[in-house]
Amino acid sequence: MASLPALLLSLLVLVVSEGQGQETAIPGCYLHSFNVTMRSDRQGTCQGSHVAQACVGHCESSAFPSRYSVLVASSYQHNITSVSQCCTISGLEKVKVQLRCAGNRQGELEIFTARACQCDMCRLSRY
């Protein structure tokens, strides 16, 4: 039978090794690149691609018991208050995408891409 100190050391090593290799989920909102392909129609008469930016990540949110004044104003229906933040675009950039068309023609299309991101109040109209 193993001694108590040896058993505790084994458990500690197991717990420490389990945590390694896992990314710590820290709040944050970051630019993420992705490739966008555009086509003028289903046949791809004109098409082009561009690397665009999106905002990805997560932000801190919290919930807590509502203040007494909120309870009274809501007839005691709003007993939890939540504060939420969402990862949103804080700056846009317009970029031109060159399109290659059938018959050696060329076209151009303007699209928007994220330039900067931030954690901000969640608003239904943004999503």
What local confidence, expressed as pLDDT, does residue 27 receive? 60
Partners of 53 in the β-ladder:
33
* DSSP string covering 45-107: SEEEEEEEEEEEEE---EEEEPPHHHHHHTTT---EEEE-EEEEEEEEEEEEEEEEEGGGEEE
Q: Which CATH number fits domain 26-59+85-126: 3.10.50.30, 2.10.90.10, 2.160.10.10, 3.40.1380.10?
A: 2.10.90.10
Partners of 65 in the β-ladder:
80
State residue 70 phi and psi, 5-degree precision: -70, -40
- Please tell me whether residue 12 adopts helix, strand or coil conformation: helix
Domains of the chain, residue spans: 26-59+85-126
Sheet holding 28-39, edge to edge: 28-39, 46-58, 85-101, 105-121
What local confidence, expressed as pLDDT, does residue 115 receive? 96
- pLDDT one-digit tens code per residue, 34-93: 999 988 777 778 889 999 999 999 898 899 999 999 999 999 999 999 888 899 999 999
